[in-house]
Structures are given as structure tokens and as C-alpha cells.
Amino acid sequence: MNLESKEKISSHAKKDIEELEYKINRFYDGKIPDERFRAFRLTRGVYGQRQPGVQMIRIKIPYGKLNGEQLIRIADISDEFTNGILHATTRQNIQIHYIKLDDSPQIWTKLEEVGITLRESCGNTVRNVTGSAMAGIDPDEPFDISPYAETAFQYFLRNAVCQDMGRKVKTAFSSSEKDSAFAYIHDFGFIPMVQSENGVEQRGFKVLLGGGLGAQSIIAKTAYEFLPEDKLIPFMEASLRVFDRYGEREKRHKARMKYLLEGNRSLGLEKFLELVGQEMAGLPYESYPIDLTIVPETKVPEVKKVPEVVITNDAKYQEWRKTNVFEQKQKGFYGIHFKPQLGNISSDSARKLVASIEGFVADDIRVTVNQGFLLRYAREGALPYLFSRLDEIGLAETGFGSIVDITACPGTDTCNLGVTNSTSISVELEKMVRSEFPHLIGDSNINIKISGCMNSCGQHMIANIGFHGSSIKHGDYIVPALQVVIGGGVDLSGKGFIADKVIKLPTKRIPGAVRILLDDYEANSNGAEYFNDYYQRQGKIYFYDLLKPLGDLSTLSPTDYIDWGQSDKYIPEIGVGECAGVSYDMVSTIVGDAEERLQFAGDGLASESFSDSIYNSYSAMVIGAKALLLSKDVACNTHGKIIADFNEHYYKTGEFKLEEDFETLVLQINKNKPTEDFARTYFRVAEDFINQLHKVRSSQVEENSELEGKLVVDKFYKG
């Protein structure tokens, strides 16, 4: 990192980047085990790819907001360090692939110079805070959610409460009750609402909690019909504390917030909210007013002479106006959507885009949740010019948000977990629908989404027609397949649905399946009947029977054994995914984690970050207790169980001396305000605990030397 770059970035970011560089070198020197290093780099946005020796960098774009300088910087980085392709995701991130690990600190530095971070874009953290791309210009919104999303992003970035959770947490702010950000499938989902009391308007949010996709998709529960805006941050922080303490850590597939609210061993919503209430006493803020100026006011482009253009394809222009352009709530201004195929935009196209639109739209580009982009504040007189320039770049394809705007994750192109190719089949389906069903291009009420595996990065479970990667064994061979799901998405009233799994079909038969579904819908639906209403009316078995002939394996042809985009017979090659974080290996390593948290607690005292200090002191004690429990083969799947089990196996037996039981000691955190006095007292408690931990651990090793390097990952701890 050169000195000039250092001067342009914050001290926090500088420390992050230096730490990444330091740990990369220690990893290369063999001082940090692979899985330990993986956990670290993930929370710094560095994600392993399917291809060995290269990484994917996930660039965090809160609620999708970019300016032209930032987009150009990402394009320049892609040119300098990789293949010149920028990939927009359904989480409003931008990803670049095939990065060398050594280059990641330099990439991060270049991003921080223009106000972009990689911190916590991956790993068991609060991930990128998403929001409706139309926020601020949505004709249906009660108010602009952008300042609220920005506040949540800034508040939880580097926050001690969310640095080592059992799993990731995803947050979405929709701009209206139409739920265009899919709040209903997030851990935290927020819908803006307005109430009037005594003639005074009060802003707030409908709060949805515990939604999620993946192998078991669950619709979020309504925690509050109306939560005042100043309670937003306290509620999120208290909820994260409850999730951190009671969330599953051993079984990663059960470690999301949704399982705390639903399932045989769940807390349930009522108990969860009760625990949230108990945490409020220990929060730094009972009320957290939102600074509505935290997001600078959009500078509206001045009126200027528009270059004359000749529209050579008026039909395409008119269709583009119909499907990709809408009038904002600010009368006389228009939003323009565009969608690069598969969410991929070349670095050259990105630079040409910024140059073409400068002065004709606001310097505020939003990444959308369906892998597209939104330009804002175009004047009507500039629309022909903007269409012409976008068309020259290849970014004026019609049908944004419609049936031909197919969402697809990278699948087997780059992802370790990909089962089948989701990109090539997406391109094929778009071609087929444009060719055979052109009249449906303007129908945004049918959406197709594809994921390469069941994890739903392509959001297939909220598609009207969705697919996820799978396979079918047939004799001695494996046939690449896609699971067909139907009936997901958000209806016209904003109600969210999860799709049903209907049938599994060979991938090469999927275009035929879509053709059958659309032909049947057109032939048998009631006029303008919403596709999902048609699906519900006919029922799942109807559609299973409709598609069943395509599942007849006795009629397979040689090409059916070859996946889309491939030339050889299909061979399943599924690696180890990194979406769920990683596991730890030895008791001694976990003790080291406890020591690190104690150090962070001390750093918090020094910087007067008392709330962070307190939470790190808490974490140091719980992690230390976990290490000692694992040394006795006591399984540790939640913080709550660790606290209870430590009382039974160490405090009550007298093996670990404490002035009071461990639960009372450690849970002072939710009974005291985070004052300086309490932070210092609690730190001393944690310090004494860690010191005694070392003595107890040394005694254990003296009695049995085999305990020193005891492995615990395989049997006892996987989170």
C-alpha cells in the first residue's frame, strides 16, 4: 500500500487492510491453518472460487447505491486485476472473479479511496443491507428508506455484536408495501409505514423477522405492525444479541435466525421478542434517532441541450419506454432500468455508461435486487438520447423485470456449490421466450429465476417459475437436472409466496417445460389472471402431471447427458461451499480466539467504545468457556447452552472458581447500561476469567498431555 493511498482512507479501513495483508503473509508462512484463515478472509469479502488458486471479491454496495466514480473504479480494478467483468448480484453487491489472494489488500485500498468497503460482505456477519432500488423516487413510497438503510449499514459495520455469529444475517428495506426488496425472505425485513397521532405524522416500519430461502425456505413472521423509526437500531441490536446467544452453532444448516423462530427446537416469535426486551437494558441506546441527512440529497441534473439522435428502431424504443422506464414521484423525471444479461457488465461498458449519462441523469446509480441497474432523474426530453446511447453499449434490451429478465446465479461457472450450469440455460430460456412469446415481454407478472444449487442465490424459491441445480441417476450415468419450482414471488398486493417443488427434469428439457407451462397458462387462465393465482387454482398435482412426460428417462438422447454450456458428459463436481463460514479445529485455537476477544475489549476501552468493549468481554468469556467444555467432550451448539453447561461442569464442581455462578456473572451484559464504569468492571471480570482459564487448561494438559492438541471439529463443534 503506498503512502498516498493511506492518506485517502479511514483509520478503521487502514487497519483492516493492513491486518489482511499481515494475515495473508502468516497464512503463506504456515502460521495460520487454512480453515482459520478462511474464516478471517470471508469477513473481508474474499471468497473462494470453484477454480483453485483464485478468489472472488464481493464488493459491498449498501442498498445498491453507487456513483459514477465508484463504478469506474470497480471497472478499472477489474481490468487491472482480472477479466474485465463486473457481476451484479441479487444482494446488490458487485463481484469480480479470478482474483489472486495477494492482490486483495491492494484492491480493497483502491475501493476505500472512493468510499467502498469489503468488510463483512461475506462470513458470519450482518451482510450487505439491501433496499429497494427505487427508494427516494418510488411513487408508492411513504418516505425514502435510504437514510435508514445507510444508518443500519454504518451502525453494524465492525460492531462487536456481529463479528462471530453462528451464521450470516440478511437485511432488506422495501420502499413500499409492494415489497420490491423481498423483505419477506430476510432475517430482518422492513416496510416503511406512517402513523398519525394527534395530527402529528410519525414514521416507522412494519418489521418482518426470520425469513430465509435455501434448502428450507421460510416466510418471515411479523414482529411488529409498526415500530417507531427511533426504535429501529435498538431492536436490530437486541435481536442480534439474542441470535448470537441462542442461535445454533454446531449444525450449520440449522444456524440461521429463521430456525430460532420456527421448528421443533425453536424459541418461537413470542419468546424471541421477550428475550429481545430483556436485552434492551444493556444497549447503548434506548432510542436512536435517524439522521435523515446521512445520505446526501440527490443533485438533480440541470436543464441542458440534448444532442440530436435518430431512433432507427422505433418499435424497440417504444417497448423500452413501456418496460424499462417509469415516471418518478418527482413529476417530470424518469427512472431508467437496464439489465445486463446474467448481471454481467464489462468494464468498457461501465465506463462508456458513465460517460454517456453524465449530466443527463443524477450521479446516483442503484444496483437492483434482480441483477440490474437503475438510473434516476432523467428528463423526458433526454430519453431518446439516453436510449440511443444505452443501445450502442448493449444496455437497452427491453423487458426489465419481466419474463425475459431471468435472474441466475453463477452456478458451476465459479461457485464451489454449483451442481449444474445456471447461466447457459438462462441465456437459452431468454432466447426462447423472446422468440416464441414476444407478447409476454411486457408482462412483469411472470418471473423466472435459476440457482445452480438449492441454496437459492438466484432466488428460485421466490420465482413464479424457478429452477435449482440437481442431478438424476440413470443406470451407470448421471443426468444433469433442474428441480422445477412454481408459485413463488410477490403478488400485486405485496403478499409474498414461497414456491412449491413440483418435479425434477433433465436440464436439456427445461426449455420444453417452460414452453408447456406458458402455453397452458395462455390457453387455460382466466383472462388477465395472475400466474400464481392460476397455479393455485389448478394445484400442484396438475402441473406435475403436465410436466411428467418430460421426466421419462427411457427417452433420453445422448445430449441429455451433457449440461448446458458443456461439451462432455456430466460429472457432478461439488466442492466445499463457504457461504456458512468455517469450523474451528483445536481447543488451543479456541482459547486463542477468547484471548483475541479480550484484546478487542481492551482496545474498546482505549478508544472509549464502551458498548463494543463490553460485548467483546462477554464473547471472550463465552468462547473461553466453550474451549474448556470441548476439552471434556461437552458439545457446544449455542452460547446459551455453553453458559448453562459451564455452570454444571466447572462452577458447580469447583474446578473453576467464581464469586458467583457463570450465568449471573456473564449475563451482567443485559442488565447494565454500557457506561464506562461498567465496561471497565466487566473487562476486569473477563480478564480474571481468561487468566484462570489458562491455569485450568494447564492443569488439564499436565494430567493428560494428549489434550494439548485435541481435535474437536469432527465430533463436537462445527460452527
Q: What is the 3-state secondary structure (H, E, C) of 298-354?
A: CCCCCCCCCCCCCCCCHHHHHHHHHHHEEECCCCCEEEEEECCHHHEEEHHHHHHHH
State which fold the 314-393 domain adopts. Alpha-Beta Plaits (3.30.70)
Dihedral (CA of 183, 184, 186, 190) sign? positive
| Amino acid letter for position 197 | E
- The widest CA-to-CA distance across the chain, in whole angstroms, is 87
Residue pair 663/647 in contact by the 8 Å Cβ criterion: yes
Given the candidates 3.40.50.2300, 1.20.120.330, 1.20.1560.10, 1.10.3720.10, the CATH classification of the domain at 587-707 is: 1.20.120.330
Residue ranges per structural domain of the chain: 1-123, 125-297, 314-393, 407-561, 587-707
Residue pair 478/471 in contact by the 8 Å Cβ criterion: yes
Whether the full predicted model's pTM is greater than 0.85, yes or no, is yes
First to last CA, the chain: 34
Residue pair 187/210 in contact by the 8 Å Cβ criterion: yes
CATH topology agreement for domains 1-123 and 314-393: yes
Q: Look at domain 1-123 and name its CATH class.
A: alpha beta
The HSE-up count of residue 142 (CA atoms within 13 Å, CB side) is 19
CATH of domain 407-561: 3.30.413.10
Determine the pLDDT at residue 585: 46
State which fold the 125-297 domain adopts. Sulfite Reductase Hemoprotein; domain 1 (3.30.413)
Residue ranges in the chain modelled with pLDDT below 70: 1-7, 263-265, 444, 573-586, 704-719
Instruction: Give the integer Cα–Cα distance in Å for 44 and 81.
Output: 17
> What confidence tens digit (pLDDT) does each residue in 310-360 have?
999 999 999 999 999 999 999 999 999 999 999 999 999 999 999 999 999
